[in-house]
Amino acid sequence: MRYISTRGSAPTLDFRDVTLAGLASDGGLYLPESWPSFSREQIAAMQGLSYVDTAVAVMLPFVTGTLTEAELRGLCTQAYGRFAHAAVVPLVQLDQQHWLLELFHGPTLAFKDVALQLLGLLFERFLNGSSQQVTVIGATSGDTGSAAIDALAGRAGVDVFMLHPKGRVSDVQRRQMTTVIAPNIHNIALEDASFDDCQALVKAMFNDAAFSGSFALSAVNSINWARLMAQIVYYFYAAVRLGAPDRAVAFAVPTGNFGDVFAGYVAAKMGLPIAKLIVATNVNDILHRALSVGDYSQGTVVPTPSPSMDIQVSSNFERLLFDLGGRDGHALAAQMHGFEGTKAMQLTNAQRAAANALFGSDRIDLDDMALAMRWAFDSCGQTIDPHTAIGLSAARRAGLGADVPVVTLATAHPAKFGDAVERATGQRPALPARIGDLFAREERYASLPGTFDAVTAYIAARAVAR
Ligand X SMILES: Cc1ncc(COP(=O)(O)O)c(C=O)c1O
Ligand Y SMILES: N[C@@H](CCOP(=O)(O)O)C(=O)O
Query: What positions carry a catalytic annotation?
Result: 112
Q: What CA–CA distances, in Å, run from 276 to 7, 30, 111?
A: 28, 25, 21
Site map for ligand X, 135-164, x if CB under 6 A? --------x---------------------
457 CB-near residues (< 8 Å, 6+ apart): none
In angstroms, the CA 464 to CA 215 distance is 7
Site map for ligand X, 361-390, x if CB under 6 A? --------------------------x---
312 CB-near residues (< 8 Å, 6+ apart): 194, 196, 284, 286, 298, 299, 300, 301
Contact between 282 and ligand X per CB under 6 A: no
Contact between 222 and ligand X per CB under 6 A: yes
In angstroms, the CA 368 to CA 207 distance is 40
Minimum distance, C-beta of residue 29 to ligand Y, in the bound complex (Å): 11
Of residues 199 and 361, the one with the C-beta less far from ligand Y: 199
From 29-37, 47-55, 257-265, 432-440, give the range in contact with ligand X by CB under 6 A.
257-265
Please give the single-letter amino acid code of residue 46. Answer: M
What is the size of the binding site for ligand X (CB under 6 A)?
A: 16
Angle between helices 418-425 and 366-380 (to 10 degrees): 70
Sign of CA dihedral 342, 347, 351, 354: positive
The DSSP code sequence of 136-161 is EEEE-SSHHHHHHHHHHTT-TTEEEE
Sign of CA dihedral 111, 310, 221, 192: negative
Minimum distance, C-beta of residue 273 to ligand X, in the bound complex (Å): 22
Alpha-carbon torsion angle 108, 109, 110, 114, nearest 10: 70
Contact between 259 and ligand X per CB under 6 A: yes
Sign of CA dihedral 403, 408, 409, 415: negative
Minimum distance, C-beta of residue 151 to ligand X, in the bound complex (Å): 15
The single residue among 189, 219, 309, 369 that binds ligand X, judged by CB under 6 A, is 309
Binding partner selected for residue 140 from ligand X, ligand Y, none, CB under the kind-specific 5 to 8 Å limit: ligand Y
The single residue among 117, 304, 308, 393 that binds ligand X, judged by CB under 6 A, is 308
The single residue among 256, 329, 418, 450 that binds ligand X, judged by CB under 6 A, is 256
Minimum distance, C-beta of residue 120 to ligand Y, in the bound complex (Å): 14
Please give the single-letter amino acid code of residue 460. Answer: A
Minimum distance, C-beta of residue 409 to ligand X, in the bound complex (Å): 8
Contact 341, 34 (CB under 8 A): no
Neighbours of 354 (CB within 10 A): 18
Minimum distance, C-beta of residue 258 to ligand Y, in the bound complex (Å): 8
Minimum distance, C-beta of residue 386 to ligand Y, in the bound complex (Å): 13
Of residues 1 and 320, the one with the C-beta less far from ligand X: 320
Contact between 258 and ligand X per CB under 6 A: yes
Minimum distance, C-beta of residue 192 to ligand X, in the bound complex (Å): 21
Alpha-carbon torsion angle 208, 210, 213, 215, nearest 10: -90
In angstroms, the CA 335 to CA 331 distance is 6
Contact between 107 and ligand X per CB under 6 A: no
Binding partner selected for residue 145 from ligand X, ligand Y, none, CB under the kind-specific 5 to 8 Å limit: ligand Y
Of residues 244 and 412, the one with the C-beta less far from ligand Y: 412
Neighbours of 269 (CB within 10 A): 17
Helical spans, DSSP H, in 251-361? 259-269, 286-293, 317-324, 329-342, 349-356
Contact between 435 and ligand X per CB under 6 A: no
In angstroms, the CA 296 to CA 282 distance is 15
From 156-164, 250-258, 427-435, 437-445, give the range in contact with ligand X by CB under 6 A.
250-258
Of residues 335 and 411, the one with the C-beta less far from ligand Y: 411
Contact between 260 and ligand X per CB under 6 A: yes
The single residue among 257, 304, 393, 408 that binds ligand X, judged by CB under 6 A, is 257
Contact between 80 and ligand X per CB under 6 A: no
Contact between 412 and ligand X per CB under 6 A: yes
Binding partner selected for residue 320 from ligand Y, ligand X, none, CB under the kind-specific 5 to 8 Å limit: none
Contact between 170 and ligand X per CB under 6 A: no
Binding partner selected for residue 254 from ligand X, ligand Y, none, CB under the kind-specific 5 to 8 Å limit: ligand X
Q: DSSP class of residue 316?
A: T
φ and ψ at residue 204, rounded to 5 degrees: -65, -35
Give the closest residue to 254 by CA, choosing from 412, 38, 114, 397.
412
Residues forming contacts to ligand Y in the complex (CB under 6 A) are 140-145, 195, 221-222, 256-257, 259, 308, 315
Binding site for ligand X (CB under 6 A): 110, 143, 222, 254-261, 308-309, 387, 411-412
